[in-house]
Amino acid sequence: MSTIYLDYAATSLKHFDILKNTINELENIYANPSSNHTLGKKNNKLLNNARKYISQTINAKDSEIIFTSGGTEANNMIFNHILNSYESGEIIISNIEHSSIIECANKLEDKGFKIIKLEVNKDGVISLNHLKKVITENTVLVSIMLANNETGVIQPIDKIADIVKQHNILLHSDIVQAFGKINIDVKKLNLDFASVSAHKIGATNNFGFLYAKDSKITPLIIGGGQENNLRSGTSDVLGAVMLEKCLHRTLNSQKTLEDMKNYFITCLKNHKVSFEINGSNIHSLPNILNIYFKNIEAQRLITFLDANNIFISGGSACSSGSFKGSRIIASMYNDERAEKSVRISIGYYTTKEMIDITVNKIKELENRILMRGK
């Protein structure tokens, strides 16, 4: 039985062909990129070429890209920056942010900051009117993710920015899930900061970057002064080159992802599975589907597919385990719907055949439940 991996939003299948080629390329360039000799300089060039390519794809300057150990660290840098820049103030986030934002915000709340968590509607989108109402002259940061990791729903960051920038407030967006999957222009979105993770697009774990407008950010990790004194620690050239190459591949596969996602929905309809998509399917990423199966408990579906070598998830990886329902789907709808909703996230290696097999299995389980009444 071959494996069907449909949990790309937790982590993408690695692009092992790119990894192997990159390791071969780097085999003879093993020096520290900060070393002032020929090998070191060669490595430094690779690092900065990667930075240049990555920055251009989001319309940033290369000096605005600060490599980090991933999205979690980039998110932590933002809240550390706020803690270092202001004695108190109000921070606005949404209640569907990744745990690395929620936990950082909670920590600042303990330190005296006021945290406002905006709720989302059934489409999975925050209310701009609510944002307008809660923003005050005491607001120091607004941090709203570009696309959600469980629903794939895209927030109207450009409109959010219009409101936030009227007040001259810092705007951060966690663009971890959206990066590469949709085109992003940090200048058009008017972002001050954006966080990115490499393993979501098939590159290495524990790598990513923070985009910081005009490089204005307080370092979280200090030491050797790498990354222009903004993030210390010996630079990860393999991580950077992998990110560069995997980004190139991801940008070129957006249309295929979209087609595959639509094919999945069409197959479910053709098989007459009883389902609804959670959140807006119009403003959403081309690779994430969150589906409410009216007749099937999520945990049962996950276990059944798992036994058939098909891997999906109930929600974000951190909150999975024994699945009681996603907090995000529960906040958009209700607990009952959350208990019957799963996330299916596709990627570069997903084929129509894999989707056919998966949908057949889903229909098989639904039939079984309907026939036996359990």
Residue 111, class by beta-carbon neighbours within 10 Å (0-12 exposed, 13-18 middle, 19+ buried)? exposed
Map residues 9-38 to x or -, x wherever contact with ligand PLP holds by CB under 6 A: ------------------------------
Torsion of CA 268, 270, 275, 281, to 10 degrees: 70
CB of 10 to ligand PLP, least distance (A): 7
Token pair of 199 as six digits: 């393993």
Name which position in 15, 98, 213, 337 contacts ligand PLP (CB under 6 A). 98
**Which residues of the chain form beta strands (DSSP E)?**
4-5, 65-68, 90-94, 114-118, 139-143, 170-174, 193-197, 208-212, 275-277, 288-293, 310-311, 341-345
Of the candidate spans 27-35, 161-169, 170-178, 253-261, the one that interacts with ligand PLP by CB under 6 A turns out to be 170-178
CB of 85 to ligand PLP, least distance (A): 22
**341 closest CA partner among 324, 361, 355:** 324
Residue 177 found at the interface with ligand PLP (CB under 6 A): yes
Name which position in 7, 174, 192, 236 contacts ligand PLP (CB under 6 A). 174
> Please, which residues bridge with residue 197 across strands?
208
CB of 208 to ligand PLP, least distance (A): 5
Name which position in 22, 80, 149, 226 contacts ligand PLP (CB under 6 A). 149
Clarify whether 246 is annotated catalytic.
no
Residue 76 found at the interface with ligand PLP (CB under 6 A): no
Token pair of 338 as six digits: 């959350």
Q: Closer to ligand PLP at the Cβ: 124 or 208?
A: 208
Residue 100 found at the interface with ligand PLP (CB under 6 A): yes
Name which position in 72, 94, 226, 235 contacts ligand PLP (CB under 6 A). 72
C-alpha Rg value of the chain to the nearest Å: 21
Q: Report the site for ligand PLP in 183-212 (rule: CB under 6 A).
A: 197, 208
Q: Report the site for ligand PLP in 227-286 (rule: CB under 6 A).
A: none
CB of 230 to ligand PLP, least distance (A): 18
Residue 152 found at the interface with ligand PLP (CB under 6 A): no
> How open is the CA angle 286-323-123, to the nearest 5 degrees?
40
Name which position in 4, 18, 71, 267 contacts ligand PLP (CB under 6 A). 71
Q: Closer to ligand PLP at the Cβ: 98 or 245?
A: 98
For CA atoms 242, 247, 252, 255, give the dihedral sign: positive
Q: End-to-end alpha-carbon separation of the chain, Å? A: 27
Token pair of 298 as six digits: 């999520």
Token pair of 133 as six digits: 């109402």
Would you list the DSSP string of 230-281? Answer: TS-S---HHHHHHHHHHHHHHHHTHHHHHHHHHHHHHHHHHTT--EEESS-S
CB of 95 to ligand PLP, least distance (A): 14
Looking up tokens 């229909």, which residue turns up?
A: 363
Residue 287 found at the interface with ligand PLP (CB under 6 A): no
CB of 243 to ligand PLP, least distance (A): 11
Q: Closer to ligand PLP at the Cβ: 139 or 195?
A: 195
Contacting residues for 221 by C-beta, under 8 A, at least 6 apart: 73, 231, 232, 233
Instruction: Please list the active-site residues.
Output: 318
Interface residues with ligand PLP (CB under 6 A) are 70-72, 98, 100, 145, 149, 174, 176-177, 197, 208
